[in-house]
Amino acid sequence: MNDTPNLLKKLMEYGKSDIYPFHMPGHKRQYKGSFAVDFPNPFSIDITEIDGFDNLHHPEGILKESMEWASRIYGSCRTYYLINGSSSGILSAISGTVSRGGTILMSRNCHKSAFHGVFLNQLRAEYIYPQIIQSFGIQGGLLPEKIEEMLMNHPEIEAVFVVSPTYDGIVSDIKAIAKVVHRFRLPLIVDEAHGAHFSFGRRGEFPVSALELGADVVIQSLHKTLPSFTQTSVMHVREGYVDMGRLDRYVHMYQSSSPSYVLMAGIEGCIRYMAGEGLEQMKLFSCKIDEVRKVLSGLKHLRLLTDQEKGMYGIYDMDRSKIVISTRGTGKSGAWLDDRLRKEYHLEMEMCGSDYVTAITTLADTQEGLIRLCNALLHIDSGLSTDKDFEGENPLFQELERTPECRMTIAQAMDESRRRVAIPDGEGMVSAEFVYVYPPGIPIVVPGEVLNKESIGLIMKYKELGLAVQGMEDEDSREIYVVDVTEPDGR
């Protein structure tokens, strides 16, 4: 049948096109690069747990040796290979550090997998809110003093979970946060999914990894910023504040019972490359980023997020490899810029927000690709103008410091009887679903929270801008499930 879907064919056609990826995975499809030169046809090494090749769920041989070797490379007490992506590490870390029905303190800008961990373990979540970079309308860092305040006011908290760096490369003061959390004798979990390259960058060129700064559990997505296959991640653990045995049990629950040897070999190969030749490549990559940023400093109307914001809005450091371009003041949306870069210049960004786009660059990026990005942005910029009517604060970004009213835990809301209503009609009702823009998958609304005028307006505006509003069962994102609670007066 000629109309039969053929994913492989479409992927091969896409791979041969001139569309350049400024998105993950970090290998950027450069399979002829030095990091992949010795990797064979994956079919030739795709096996199961046969004699001599160990078992990821009970490692005693080569996999045990490999993960112990990786642990020495990173300086952890234990390093796990994750073939279900960072999500499996996040779920394991939450399940392994907080008792069922307990309380966790987590940054509100966590990935959806962290909220899934809260649901699966029927936890109560207290939130710490990132600051807002007002001039860009994106999330900044987390303040250690705010975390300390929350821990003092909520002695029932059993673990702290934060995201650093953010999707846009914003790094919080993890060293200070770790000191605060450890004073309360609690474990600090850091979602460093977008900072896997930190462990191999020289200080001053890239931020320091949370593992070196005192975090107890650090999850990194190799595939996001390093030359590794999609789904490949690692989880590093330090002894002291973590029940290692309990965490180990959960890792095996959340990982596939048929782990891919292709992916595990990819993890090991990536780490070996980065600990060797990759160190020199990171230096060269840093120089390339410097040149890109120098060129983009010539933008007149579009704006590049720079390290001038460091020291403000909770920003301790910034990952220069994330190229964040704001359209604010031009009258254009992030979706407009994202679409134009794709259609006219064949450049695919990682994500777009209401008035900005984010490009992920890695050591696998080619000079040609980086030049194309610079030329495209400069050309688009030359056709824009700055309109004072569009300057000032962006009313679209979520006011994260305004704590939403929460009437139920996530688990309670998702397990209650429910009914579907049009989103604009849901004001005052308790949401039974998540609502988020994907990527990055950070919830606007969490089950158990009351839908208010601001959150509904934000959802509708994001839809109007053409952003991918997801999380709801309604594929058209027009209706949302709310908790079906009958009031005493019969409403």
Task: Give the other-Cβ count within 10 Å of 307's Cβ.
Answer: 11
- Cα distances from 169 to residues 165, 313, 328, 376, in angstroms, run 5, 14, 19, 22
- Taken in order of first residue, the domains within the chain and their CATH numbers are 42-275 (3.40.640.10), 283-390 (3.90.1150.150), 410-483 (3.90.105.10)
Question: 277-296 vs 367-382: helix axis angle to the nearest 10?
Answer: 10
- Residue 259: strand, helix, or coil: coil
Task: Give the other-Cβ count within 10 Å of 200's Cβ.
Answer: 21
Between CA 419 and CA 336 the distance in angstroms is 35
> How much is the pLDDT for 486?
57
Give the dihedral of Cα atoms 82, 83, 86, 91; nearest 10 deg.
Answer: -70
> How much is the pLDDT for 326?
95
Q: Would you call 464 exposed, middle or buried from its count of C-beta atoms within 10 A (0-12, 13-18, 19+)?
A: exposed
Confidence class of residue 476 from pLDDT cuts 50, 70 and 90? confident
Segment 199-223 mean pLDDT = 95
Between CA 295 and CA 288 the distance in angstroms is 11
Give the gyration radius of the chain's Cα atoms.
23
pLDDT tens profile 246-281: 999 999 999 999 999 999 999 999 999 999 999 999
Mean of all residue pLDDT scores within the chain:
92
pLDDT tens profile 212-241: 999 999 999 999 999 999 999 999 999 999
pLDDT tens profile 120-134: 999 999 999 999 888
Between CA 437 and CA 73 the distance in angstroms is 36
> How much is the pLDDT for 65?
98
Q: Tell the residue number behind the tokens 């107890």, with chain if given.
A: 216
Task: Check pLDDT > 90 for residue 138.
Answer: no
Q: Which residue has the higher pLDDT, 137 or 410?
A: 410
pLDDT tens profile 296-311: 999 999 999 999 889 9
pLDDT tens profile 368-427: 999 999 999 999 999 999 875 555 545 445 444 457 889 999 999 999 999 999 999 999
- Residue 22: strand, helix, or coil: strand
Query: Taking every pair of C-alpha atoms in the chain, what is the biggest distance, in angstroms?
Result: 71
pLDDT tens profile 144-198: 999 999 999 999 999 999 999 999 999 999 999 999 999 999 999 999 999 999 9
Confidence class of residue 439 from pLDDT cuts 50, 70 and 90? low
Strand segments, DSSP code E, in 291-395 are 303-304, 317-318, 322-326, 347-349, 351-352, 356-360
Segment 18-44 mean pLDDT = 91
Task: For residue 37, give every residue at least 6 positions away whose Cβ sits within 8 Å of its Cβ, in sequence order, or none.
Answer: none
In terms of DSSP H, where are the helices of 47-194? 62-74, 85-97, 112-120, 144-153, 174-183
105 neighbors 249 (Cβ within 8 angstroms): no
State how beta strands 317-318 and 303-304 pair.
Answer: unpaired
340 neighbors 394 (Cβ within 8 angstroms): no
Confidence class of residue 136 from pLDDT cuts 50, 70 and 90? confident
Among the listed residues 78, 54, 55, the one whose alpha carbon sits nearest the alpha carbon of residue 245: 78
- Residue 449: strand, helix, or coil: strand
Question: 85-97 vs 112-120: helix axis angle to the nearest 10?
Answer: 40
Task: Check pLDDT > 60 for residue 331.
Answer: yes
189 neighbors 229 (Cβ within 8 angstroms): no
Sheet holding 124-128: strands in order across? 78-82, 233-237, 217-221, 188-191, 157-163, 103-107, 124-128
96 neighbors 233 (Cβ within 8 angstroms): no
Task: Check pLDDT > 90 for residue 31.
Answer: no
Percent of the chain with pLDDT over 70: 94
Q: Which amino acid is at 434?
A: F
> How much is the pLDDT for 146?
96
